[in-house]
Amino acid sequence: MTRRPGVTLVEMLVVISIIGILLALLLPAVQRVRDAANRMSCMNNLRQMGVALHNYHGAKGCFPPGLVADTIIYDAEATGFTFMLPYLEQDTTYRIYDFDSAWYQQPNYEAVGVQIKTFFCPANRTQGTLDLAPIGVQWSSALPPTAAGCDYAFCKGANGSLSRNWQRTPPALRGVFGIRSSDEIATGVRLTQITDGSSNTFAMGDAAGGTFRYLVRDLNNPDQPAVETLTGQTVAIEQSWSAAGITDLDHPYYGSVFAVTAQYGLAPDPRDEPMNRRPATPTYSGGDTSGDNSSGRDAVSGFRSLHVGGCNFLFCDASVRFVRESIAPSIYRALSTYAGDEPVSGDDY
C-alpha cells in the first residue's frame, strides 16, 4: 500500500508560528502606511480649504468671519464654513442656504444637514451628524433634525473669550478668525494685517469630532470625562460646519467651529490649551464681559486629531504642515496669533 506524505503536528505548529510572526511584523507596517495615507488625505482637505479661503479673500478683500452673531452668542447665525461653500464646489448647498435666516430656522433645515466630505478627516471618519433632538429638548427650542459634522476648526488665537465685542480681545492674542456681526463681515482679517507672517500663522487645524477618543471633560474635575445630565452618559466632543451656536455652562458638552491654543494667553498664567488634550475642553460661554477672558468664564476647545503625535494645520499662506503635540506652549501660542510680534521660525516646530 502506498503511503501519502503528510504533515506532522509539530510541522504544522511551526508553520503557524512563522505565519503569526510574519503577521505581527506586517500589521504595524500596514498601520503606519494607513496612518500616513490618512494624514496626507487630511492635508489635502486643508489645502482645498486654504485655496477656498484665498479665493474668498480675493473676492471680498478679507477672510470670512469664523462666526456671525448679531444678538447673543448662543444664537450665532452662520459660520465661516458657510461662506466658504461656493469656493469648495459646494454651490448647491450654498444656494439653498438662506442667509436671511439663522442656521437653526426652518429655511435652513435642509442645508445644515448636508455632509461635506472635505470637512471630515479620514483618520477619524468619512461621515457623521449631530442628532439635534436632545439638544432641542435641553434648550427648549425648535432645531433642525440633524446638523452635519466637521473635523476642522478655525484658529481663534490664544484667547478663549466669546464676547461679541471682538475688539476687546487683546490684539496680540487674536487669531485670524473671530466673531463678527452681520454688518461687520467685510471687516474680516486681511493678509496685509498678518504682521507675524502668513507662513507662521495658523488659519485652521484638526478638530476631530464624534470620536470617543476625545470625551468632553468635566469642568469641575478636568481629568475626568463629563457625564451628560440628560442621558447619564459620557459625551464625545462634536461640532458642525453649519451649526453656529455656542453652548453655555449648563450644557458644556460640545465643541464649536473655533479652536484655541490658550484660554487667556497672558502672563503669569496663560492657561494653555494643549494639542490633543484628553478629556477635551468643550466650548462654552459663561458671560465674559472683559473680552480678555481673565475671569475664565468662557472657554474654547483645543485642536485635536487621530494622527499619531500631533495635528495638521493650514497656515495663512495656504501651506499645510504637521505640528507635533510636543511643541513648546509659547511657540504654539505664537503660531495661533497674527499680530503678536513673536519671533518664530520653522525650526521652532
For 234-245, write each residue's pLDDT tens digit. Answer: 999 999 999 998
* Predicted confidence (pLDDT) at residue 340 exceeds the cutoff of 80: yes
How confident is the model at residue 277, as a pLDDT?
98
* Predicted confidence (pLDDT) at residue 42 exceeds the cutoff of 80: yes
How confident is the model at residue 319, as a pLDDT?
98
3-class SS of residue 1: coil
* Predicted confidence (pLDDT) at residue 6 exceeds the cutoff of 70: no
**Which grid cell sits at 63?**
477672510
**Which grid cell sits at 302?**
483645543
The span from the CA of 133 to the CA of 138, in Å, is 9
- Say which amino acid occupies 144: P
SS (H, E, C) 177-246: CCEECHHHHHHCCCHHHCCCCHHHCEEEEEECCCCCCCEEECCCCCCCECECCCCCCECECCCECCCCCC
Domain chopping of the chain, boundaries:
34-348
Q: Buried (b) or exposed (e) across 114-151, using 16+ Cβ within 10 A?
A: bbbebbbbbbbeeebbbebeebeeebeeebbebbbbbb
pTM: 0.90
